[in-house]
């Protein structure tokens, strides 16, 4: 099954995407994670993307389409995928359709949260530097402060979760990414899920939206 998760920063794409991908037995492809790793590793992609990621701007479509085309042709993506953070512009969505060809998307799930909630959620977000698991120090605390429950890695905050950069990312979301809601609605692929409620209920909504019994 081929699924895209849409939603503003902090809407829960990473947390629920992981669980959904495991349930579907397909890889989670999170372009933000790929870029952050490339930056840490100092690869040519990382060097190209670093300034944009740090400032909360979008990395150019051409760079992102090259990255996603390479990732989607890897053997593990042949049986499907969950995309988190891609596409983020209509041009990326059109490019994705070209890359997929006859292998069409099955569902696009939009995680809907009121914008007032986003800043508060991101301020309290911590993630594992080793496996990428996501925590919230208020609502989804790790068992031991600063340590990942899953792999024991150290937890850290994302540099782009600072208030100023978050505001920039929300502005970019409104301008560049929100038009995708209409784009996928017209294609008959979109399902909305209320992502402002508790995590378990959100996941049940997502599972239903893709036709899984949660
Ligand atoms: P995320 O982890 O999805 O919030 O992404 C973090 C940052 O990576 C974004 O603020 C962008 O700078 C960059 N990024 C991730 N995915 C994309 C994309 N599809 N297009 C452009 N930039 C992206």
What phi and psi values does residue 188 have, to the nearest 5 degrees? 75, 20
Domain membership flag for residue 163: no
Query: How many C-beta neighbours within 10 Å does residue 123 have?
Result: 16
123 is a domain residue: no
In a domain, 141, yes or no: no
Residue 196 maps to a domain: yes
pLDDT digits (tens, 9 = 90+) for 74-88: 999 999 999 999 999
Closest ligand 1 atom, residue 84 Cα: 3
Where do runs of H (alpha helix) occur along 25-142?
Answer: 31-41, 44-55, 61-72, 90-100, 115-123
pLDDT at site 214: 59
The pLDDT value recorded for residue 159 is 87
pLDDT at residue 138, rounded to an integer: 84
On whether the CB atoms of residues 61 and 89 are closer than 8 A, the answer is yes
Going by alpha carbons, the residue nearest to atom 2 of ligand 1 is: 32
CA-based end-to-end distance of the chain: 16
In sequence order, the 6+-apart residues with CB closer than 8 A to the CB of 20 are 3, 5, 28, 82, 203, 206, 207, 210, 212
Does the beta carbon of 56 sit less than 6 angstroms from any atom of ligand 1?
yes
Percent above pLDDT 90 for the chain: 84
Tally of domains within the chain: 1
> How confident is the prediction for the chain on average, in pLDDT?
94
Assess if residue 125 is contained within a domain. no
Measure 60 CA to ligand 1 centroid, in angstroms: 10
Q: Is 17 in the pocket of ligand 1 (CB under 6 A)?
A: no
Q: Is residue 5 pLDDT above 90, yes or no?
A: yes
Span from the CA of 11 to the centroid of ligand 1 (angstroms): 14
- Rounded to 5°, the CA angle 96-3-26 comes to 105
pTM: 0.92
DSSP assignment string, 146-200: TB-TTT-PBEE--GGGSHHHHHHHHHHIIIIITHHHHHHHHTT-EEEEE-SS-HH
pLDDT in tens, 24-48: 999 999 999 999 999 999 999 999 9
Q: Is 58 in the pocket of ligand 1 (CB under 6 A)?
A: yes
Sign of CA dihedral 83, 39, 52, 10: positive
- Report the pLDDT averaged over residues 197-201: 93
Say which CATH number the domain at 97 has. Answer: 3.40.50.300
Q: Is the CB of 88 under 6 A from ligand 1?
A: yes
113 with 98: CB under 8 angstroms? no
**185 pLDDT more than 70:** yes
Is 169 catalytic? The answer is: yes
Residue 122 belongs to some domain of the structure: no
In a domain, residue 121? The reply is no
Residue 145 within any structural domain of the chain:
no
Contact 31, 64 (CB under 8 A): yes
**CA 205: distance to chain centroid?**
17
Residue numbers of the domain that contains 64? 2-113+168-209
pLDDT for res 132: 87
Q: What confidence tens digit (pLDDT) does each residue in 90-112 have?
A: 999 999 999 999 889 999 999 99
**Mean pLDDT of all residues in 158-177:** 92
Which pLDDT score, from 0 to 100, does residue 42 have?
96
């Amino acid at each position: 099954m081929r699924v895209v998760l849409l939603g503003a920063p902090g809407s829960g794409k990473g947390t629920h995407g992981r669980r959904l991908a495991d349930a579907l037995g397909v890889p989670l492809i999170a372009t933000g994670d790929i870029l952050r790793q490339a930056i840490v590793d100092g690869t040519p992609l990382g060097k190209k993307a670093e300034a944009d990621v740090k400032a909360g701007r979008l990395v150019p479509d051409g760079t992102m389409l090259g990255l996603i085309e390479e990732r989607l042709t890897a053997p593990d993506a042949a049986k499907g995928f969950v995309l988190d953070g891609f596409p983020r512009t209509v041009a990326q969505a059109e490019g994705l359709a070209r890359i997929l060809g006859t292998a069409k998307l099955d569902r696009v799930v939009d995680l809907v949260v009121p914008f007032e909630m986003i800043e508060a959620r991101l301020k309290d977000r911590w993630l594992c530097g080793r496996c990428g698991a996501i925590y919230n120090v208020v609502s989804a605390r790790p068992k031991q402060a600063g340590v990942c429950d899953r792999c024991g890695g150290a937890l850290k905050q994302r540099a782009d979760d600072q208030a100023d950069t978050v505001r920039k990312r929300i502005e970019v979301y409104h301008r560049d990414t929100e038009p995708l809601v209409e784009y996928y609605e017209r294609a008959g692929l979109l399902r909305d899920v209320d992502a402002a409620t508790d995590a378990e209920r959100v996941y049940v909504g997502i599972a239903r939206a893709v036709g899984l019994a949660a």
